[in-house]
Structure 1
Amino acid sequence: MQTEHPDNDWRRIVYDALVRFCADAHSPDGETGAESSVAGVSAPSVSGTLDFRKVAGEALPLAQVAALCLVVKACVQSGDIADIWQRGATTIVHTSLDAQRVSWSWKRLLPDHFEFSWDFRSDPHHVLRMVRASNLDPRRASFEHGLVDAMTRNDDPIVFLTSSLDDLHPAVAMFDANVVPIGGIDREVLPALFAIRYPELTDEQIERLVSQVPDLNAVPPGDIDCVVLAFRQSDPNVVPMIIARYVEQSLDEVASTEPKLWRPSSVVPLNDLVGLGAAKVAAQDALAALRDWQAGLLPWNAVPRGLLIAGPAGTGKTELARSLAGEADVHLVTASYNQWQKSGSLSHFLGAMEKSFDEAKRKAPSILFIDEIDAFYTRTDLSGDGRNDSYDVKAITALLEKLDGISDREGVIVVAACNHLKFVDPAIRRAGRFDVVVEIGLPTFEELAVIFGQHLGDRTSEIDLTVCAAAALGRTGADCAAAVRMAGATARRGNRAMTTDDVLAALEGDAPKMSDDEWLRLAVHECGHAIVATALNVGSVEYVRIGGSGGECKIAVTRVLQTENDLHLSRCVALAGREAERVIFGTVVTGSGGVLDSDIAKATKSAADQICAYGMGSLGPIWLASAGSPLSVREAIAGHLPEVAEMLQVAENDVSSVLIAHRELLIEMANKILIEKVLHGGGLEDCLSQVTLNNRVA
């Protein structure tokens, strides 16, 4: 970002280091290709202003850039950064950042006449040497016996790296050292990341996006990658929401380490939860049984042994466990595969698992919530290649033993959550371990309106819940909560009340600058999908919407077993939006293709699978690749491109005849969506009731 900074500002140091890194990358001899004023080196500055967008095209490792920002910021705050490589200097760097990240940062910062090294071999150059503090501790197996002699032979500057100051050996602690604590990623680092990842953004847009990111204090210092991964999104407006979701999960994990008794007043009551379907009913049944057991009316062996909930991230699985514990007025103990694995080796993993179950038993009656249970994977899919499989098998076996211990954990109901039920080992899913296994989907339009109302509280009267719910279709309850928080931040910055537009902006970001004709084309495209799906009886259309993030036609397909004709109909629906544009405008635009999940890509994959995976093409009953795999498409394109093209052309011709017959309805529906932004419920049914079933194609 183009902002003036004094020469000793950490941003200036980072900027100059990145400029020099990019120059080195372009230099064939590996020599510095541009002058720079990095960390006190006497050289002219590359620019009088800081504009990180200038290095955006250099394929910089974004996580390394973030680490560099944190290292430089911490060093500047601790004193003069150039003091670190003075002769005889000793520095203790206290951080949980990965050691390779720290060393990459030092290499970017060192003056030209310095080198960096992890060892103590003789070298004529000035060398900044980094040493893991544990390597100078004779009490540990990692102790390097020649290290002390090597350190006394020269006065090269040394940096000791440690994750805990409490564990420093006296041999390290006795040095008159400058301690540099490097914290976790914060919002001061984000502008540089936004500018490098999305160079098309203006300063004002970057400032707005950074302001939407919540406080990052809850993010562990070592989890820098989890924040940086949010920048994988192609749309920068989505990044704050992804980070907000991760921060919320981090807060949950921190809270789970503190003994706490959840009370009904601290959570949403079970009856008020929406979008959970059968999972809510199962939780209510468990609550009733638990209360009867507490009252002595029911033996423990009659209480449901466990509840396994599967569904997309953010759909309320954790909230369900909180509500169950809150209404039952019992302890909630939370754990996850990731939390247990952080403990280290297999023995530590199993010990952490044991600790969670013991805590739940000690605090009984209680709810033990196990998140990410699909991370255990399933033994039926293990590769059989040795050590890693052994680790997973033993971990699953230990979990099964814990789940089977019903007599040893009286008063403990286990609630587990996962995103993908198919990855959960069948032995974990079976009755007796989890008596109830339910899957939940994304909230409906009506449920989204209720969710927004719950998060808005007394501000509901100022917000149009219907409009917000329409914009949030296809999103989760967690997305709605994050949008309300971002909208609140926007309103507070303006010292005013929150508006509907604030919520919409948080959900979708800035609307694309499209003309009225382009918005109409987007509406026509989505209505084409809806009309064809209805005419061919492919499934029920749940809603059709357009907005700042594009358009969507949600179709619920009920067929599980698909015939050759079903595959053809699916291609017809996929190509319907593109053909609707041609029927109304005479042309098509690029939006139907270009990416892996585009309409054309879906239709092409369907044709490829029919030939190479399902044995329904000209080759007959032969299998060449798994359905949906890139190999399936490659095989089809390499040897059967004319057949694939013919399948798609036939589908497009059939779609054209359906849409020409419904041209007036197509225009009518599109105009309605232009005004209302969404068609659902009765309004959608009124439109689609005018569609004539096409038995010729179907």
Structure 2
Amino acid sequence: MSEKKKNNPKFTLNSYWIYVPIILFFVTLHFFSSGSFASKRISSNQFNEILKENDIEKVMIINNSVAEIYIKKDALENKEKYEKIKKSAFYRKGAPVYEYNFGDLQNFENKLNKAKEEYNLSLDYDHEEKTSFFETIISILPFIVLILIWLFFMRRMSGAGGGAGGGGQIFNIGKSRAKLFDENTKVKTTFKNVAGLEGAKEEVQEIVDFLKNPEKYTKLGGKIPKGALLVGPPGTGKTLLAKAVAGEAGVPFFSLSGSDFVEMFVGVGASRVRDLFKQAKQKSPSIIFIDEIDAIGRARGKNSMTGGNDERENTLNQLLTEMDGFGTESNVIVLAATNRAEILDKALMRAGRFDRQIYVDLPDLHERREIFEVHIKPLKLADDVNLEFLAQQTPGFSGADIANLCNEAALIAARNNKTAIHHQDFLDAVDRIVGGLEKKNKVITPKEKKVIAYHEAGHATVSWMLKYAAPLVKVTIVPRGQSLGAAWYLPEERKIVQTEQMLDEMCATMGGRAAEKLIFDKISTGALSDLEKVTKQARAMVTVYGLNEEVGNVTYYDSSGNDSFVKPYSEETAKVIDEEISKIIEGQYIRAIEILDQNRDKLDVLAQKLLEKEVIFKDDLIEIFGKRPFEKDDKEEDTSSEQETGAFDIS
């Protein structure tokens, strides 16, 4: 019974309902106060008859066109013909009884004057200008419509119904839209829900401790930090970390996005910043979290097309002043998150505003294992699921990617009508996310299929024969996503990469095109993604890492991102760079052809096996090539393993 009551929609009073009775009141007041409302319209003959009988007390000429006729009190009470009018619900004493449309005013006045003399009448007449209630409404109606349209659009643009502080109302457009989390609206996320990120957690835990026990730090003369900036790639857990701070802090926590300050009206952004910090100071000690701060924190004076009075710059200036301006002694800490720290204004990044920059990096092997343990809690797993292996199979995955992987595995298991999620479902989910959706029904001719098989076999053969190339896990010629074939690798997790390692990886990448050239003496467009990858690697070797002897120990990389429109080298140097890039790529291409030529028989066997099975694994390669002579011990491989994809793309 209680549940039914809860589900019943509650009656809510809308403010607009107040206008309805007000309008009805004025309309009714007009009708009852109007003397002409109860009056009866009469003809010329009827008017002449009443005039001759001397029943008329007064004639009021309205707007020079209509006569309102007032009847004498004695005539109303004694004559029978007025009884019907007196019984009318709208009759009011002292109001006009008849209404006569006389036509020409001069003729009507002459008629009255002549009748007064002829019949010795005691009537009087006068003139009055009146405006009808409805005429007034009609005259101002266009202005009312324009005002209503303006209010409608202003309400829509100010985000109707959104945000704290009444941001949805037109008069509250300058109010902050921050969502407040305090003792009434507690956040359930804590640091226990954040897997990995040990260094980042330690930093933000200290901020929470500052607010809980400020005397511990201030008694030694220290000051509480003004702010901390969370920087890192998308999906690494910056916002989750801020939620954990909100859950742990026990102080008011204001959360909003950088875009919440942006508005088309001049001065609104700065006004919202002021209101936000005003609310935070009133509830201090408190925390403000601004997600995606690059929306307002972009460096000033760069790529500005709106002139000097840029609204975004005004908002940023106000934020700078509030964070560390003249007289900003308050117990308010600002947390912000962005994945584009390089474009933020230097004034925003300086100490005193954001005292700490906390880099939230992609998780390593151990952290990925912890993240998996968090996300598998609500899942029904089979006994064969190996989280250690899954952590090895997901290099470069962010926390958001791993959450998506677990969900995808659950969907795959449900699609196959399983009662639990098996290890193979997770592997299929990895393939689905990294390579794309499998397209077994894609029409490929036998000739194209053979080219694809040799292309992928070329990748597998070259990578197997090179010391620093990543060991292969799986090769497939089943179309997946935009690829017609793919090879999965398990490379080492390196902190630095040496020249030989980069060259071996480039050689393995060129193995596909080299196999096409060796077998068919023709090349196809299928190596587009391979060429793109090796070109980027070769360019990085020459222009970024200084790994080319001809160009030397020089880098043309600018981490600040200010060289996008300026070429930092001469035309002569550009020519040398182009030549060296081409020389590196062509050298590895020739090297790949030589390796494949030396292992031609094994390449043919591998390609034929691919054509038969469509998918082959590491065990098949060991059967054909034998164990790699430079392969590391299993223990070492388990502690440092990653995965990449090399796809055979047609564009």
- TM-score normalized with structure 2 length: 0.51
**2:322 aligned partner:** 402
Structure 2: distance between partners of 1:362 and 1:525: 67
Partner secondary structure for residue 528 of structure 2: coil
1:364 aligns with 2:311: no
In structure 1, distance between residues paired with 2:218 and 2:201? 23
Equivalents in 1 of 2:147, 2:465: separation in Å? Answer: 72
Letter in 1 for 2:226: R
Return the letter of the residue paired with 1:348. Answer: V
Q: Give matches, 1:274-423, under 5 Å.
A: 274-293=195-214, 302-341=223-262, 343-376=263-296, 378-379=298-299, 382-383=302-303, 387=307, 390-404=310-324, 408=328, 410-423=330-343
The answer (yes or no) to whether the contact 1:592–1:600 under 8 Å persists in 2 is no
1:499 paired residue among 421, 430, 443: 421
Tell whether the 8 Å contact from 2:543 to 2:555 is kept in structure 1 after alignment: no
> Is the Cα–Cα contact under 8 Å of residues 293 and 338 in structure 2 kept in the other structure?
yes
* Post-superposition CA distance 1:354-390 (Å, at most 9, x none): 3333333334333211111233454377136552784
Looking at structure 2, the residues matched to 317 and 545 of structure 1 have their Cα atoms a distance apart, in angstroms, of 33
The answer for unaligned runs of 5 or more in structure 1 is 1-133, 144-160, 168-255, 534-540, 560-565, 690-698
Q: Which residue of 1 aligns with 2:583?
A: 646
Q: Map 1:114-133 onto structure 2 (within 5 A).
A: none
Pick one of 139, 150, 154 that aligns with 2:147: 139
Q: What's the secondary structure of 1:303's corresponding residue?
A: coil
Q: Secondary structure at the match of 1:259?
A: strand
Supply the distance in 2 between the matched residues of 1:267 and 1:472 (Cα, whole angstroms): 28
Aligned residue runs from structure 1 range 607-618, under 5 A: 609=543
| d(CA) in 2 for partners of 1:267, 1:332 | 13
Q: Distance in 1 between matches of 2:404 and 2:589?
A: 40
Task: Report what 1:446 is aligned to.
Answer: 366
Secondary structure of the residue aligned to 1:457 is coil
Relative to structure 1, the CA distance from residue 417 to residue 165 in structure 2 (aligned partners, 3 Å threshold; closer, same or farther) is closer
What is the deviation of 1:474? 1.6
- Is it true that 1:602 corresponds to 2:610 in the alignment? no
User: Equivalents in 2 of 1:647, 1:490: separation in Å?
Assistant: 43
Equivalent position of 1:196 in the other structure: none
Name whichever of 262-271 and 495-504 sits farther off: 262-271
CA distance in 2: counterparts of 1:403 and 1:444, whole angstroms: 34
Query: Quick check: 2:364–2:395 contact (8 Å CA) kept in 1?
Result: yes
Change (3 A) 1:354 1:471: farther
Which of 468, 472, 484 does residue 532 from structure 1 map onto? 468
State whether residues 321 and 367 of structure 1, in contact with CA within 8 Å, keep that contact through their aligned partners in structure 2. Answer: no
Report the counterpart of residue 36 of structure 2 in structure 1: none
- Alpha-carbon offset, residue 454 of structure 1: 0.7
Question: 1:659 Cα deviation (Å)?
Answer: 11
Aligned to 1:107: none
Q: Give the alignment of 1:628-667 within 5 angstroms.
A: 644-652=581-589
Give 3-state SS (helix, strand or coil) of 2:395's partner: coil
Please give the per-residue CA displacement for 1:252-305, whole angstroms capped at 9, x wherever unaligned: xxxx85533379995453256334243222112222332212889858963232
Q: 3-state SS of the aligned residue for 1:438?
A: strand
Give distance in 2, aligned partners of 1:470 and 1:263.
Answer: 42
In structure 1, the residue matched to 2:509 is 578
Residues 1:577 and 1:485: Cα distance change in structure 2 (over 3 Å): same
Alignment match, 1:685: 636
Counterparts of 2:429 and 2:182, CA distance in 1: 33
Of the three residues 406, 410, 420, the one matched with 1:484 is 406
Name which one, 1 or 2, has greater alpha-carbon Rg: 2
Distance 1:621 1:451, change over 3 A: closer
Q: What amino acid is aligned across from residue 443 of structure 1 in structure 2? A: P
Q: Map Cα deviations across residues 87-113 of structure 1 (whole Å, 9 max, x no partner).
A: xxxxxxxxxxxxxxxxxxxxxxxxxxx
Q: Structure 1: how far apart are the matches of 2:332 and 2:555?
A: 52
The offset of 1:315, in angstroms, is 0.4
Distance in 1, Cα, partners of 2:208 & 2:555: 52
How far residue 579 of structure 1 moved from its aligned partner, in angstroms, is: 4.8
Q: Does 1:431 align with 2:351?
A: yes
Is the 2:270–2:318 contact (alpha carbons within 8 Å) kept by the matching residues of 1? yes
Q: How far does the alpha carbon of each residue in 1:411-445 deviate from its partner, in whole angstroms, 9 at most, with x for none?
A: 32211111022112222122221221122221122
Task: Output the CA distance in 2 between the equivalents of 1:681 and 1:406.
Answer: 62
Which residue of the other structure, out of 610, 613, 618, is the alignment partner of 1:671? 618
Classify the secondary structure of the residue corresponding to 2:181.
Answer: coil
Q: Deviations over 1:297-322 (max 9, x none)?
A: 85896323221111111100011111
Following superposition, the deviation at residue 638 of structure 1 comes to: 10
CA distance in 2, matches of 1:688, 1:276: 19
Task: Give the number of aligned pairs.
Answer: 426
State whether residues 336 and 371 of structure 1, in contact with CA within 8 Å, keep that contact through their aligned partners in structure 2.
Answer: yes
For residues 155-176 of structure 1, the C-alpha deviation after alignment (integer angstroms, 9 at most, x for no partner) is: xxxxxx9796999xxxxxxxxx
The CA distance in 1 between the partners of 2:183 and 2:464, in whole Å, is 47
Report the RMSD for the aligned CA atoms in angstroms. Answer: 5.8
TM-score (norm 1): 0.48
Q: How many percent identity over aligned positions?
A: 22
Change (3 A) 1:662 1:370: farther
Secondary structure of 2:147's counterpart equals coil
Partner secondary structure for residue 241 of structure 2:
helix
1 CA distance for matches of 2:555 and 2:202? Answer: 45
Query: 1:46-73 CA distances to partner (integer Å, 9 max, x unpaired)?
Result: xxxxxxxxxxxxxxxxxxxxxxxxxxxx
Q: Which amino acid aligns with 1:477?
A: G
Equivalent residue runs for 1:132-211 within 5 Å: 137-139=145-147
Taking the aligned partners of 1:414 and 1:502, their CA distance within structure 2 comes to: 42
Alignment match, 2:649: none
Secondary structure of the residue that 1:474 maps to in structure 2?
A: coil
